[in-house]
Amino acid sequence: MQPLIGISGRLIKDTTWCPPIVGHRQGYVNAILDAGGVPVMLPPLTDTVALRTAFERMDGILLAGGEDVAPIIYQEERHPQLGSVSSERDTAELELARWAVEEGKPVLGICRGIQVLNVALGGSLWQDLVAQCQGVQDHQIGEKAQCWDTFDHLLQLSADSQLAKLLNTTELGVNSLHHQAVKHVGRGLRVVGRAPDGVVEAVEGTGDSFVVAVQCHPEQLWQAPDPRWCNVFRAFVQACVVAPVTV
């Protein structure tokens, strides 16, 4: 049976006349489908009972991209360059991340997802790389160019990482559409990838379950220009098959 993969959805409020919409970009859905999973969009539920019910029916959790994480969660004051935040997403996704890691349910984090995972496990974030970190490049290159499928900088991976094995390389080009990044690493995580300027771009769990998160957007790269990312999505889905949820 194909595993159910819960994708954290966005609450889209910036429409001119429509009520808020829950959803996300098609790239996440297509990547999970291609990898053999069944994508299920999870609304940012603030009802913990409803959220837990949905979580228990999922075989794996994909923490997707989106807004900044509110710095109050990791005990920092708001920086002037902080972008938009979503209290609904923060509440729901921090719970999803904690539950998944604690219970050994596979997790794949993408962009905001690496940040949510890190904060959920006690880590912190750079709220704005250019403003807070000397010598780093602009990591919003792709966003400013409105281009998702270009190689904006290199990703350098640890040779012993799961990502390096799945991608069959320790260095590859990635897209870059973020202005925040992992600062202090959360418990149970290790840094396995950085940009050439030292910014953290990938983490993995130190335990036995599948916990992988990247700062780039592989859901926009796996078809083209870099099909090697298919291996990551397939490994994630396969990990969800190994120990399927029983309800």
Catalytic-residue membership of 111: yes
Q: Which residue from 69, 78, 180, 84 is spatially nearest to 129, judged by alpha carbons?
A: 180
Contact 41, 229 (CB under 8 A): no
Catalytic-residue membership of 24: no
Catalytic-residue membership of 139: no
b/e map 207-240, b = 16+ CB within 10 Å? eebbbbbbbbbbbbbbeeebeebbbbbbbbbbbb
Q: What is the DSSP string of 78-129?
A: PPTT---B-HHHHHHHHHHHHHHHHHT--EEEETHHHHHHHHHTT--EES-H
Of 153, 178, 179, 217, the active-site residue reads 217
Of 201, 216, 219, 240, the active-site residue reads 219
Tokens of 20: 């808020």
Give first-to-last CA distance, the chain, whole Å: 14
Of 24, 67, 93, 111, the active-site residue reads 111
Tokens of 89: 């997403």
Would you name the residues annotated as active-site residues? 111, 217, 219
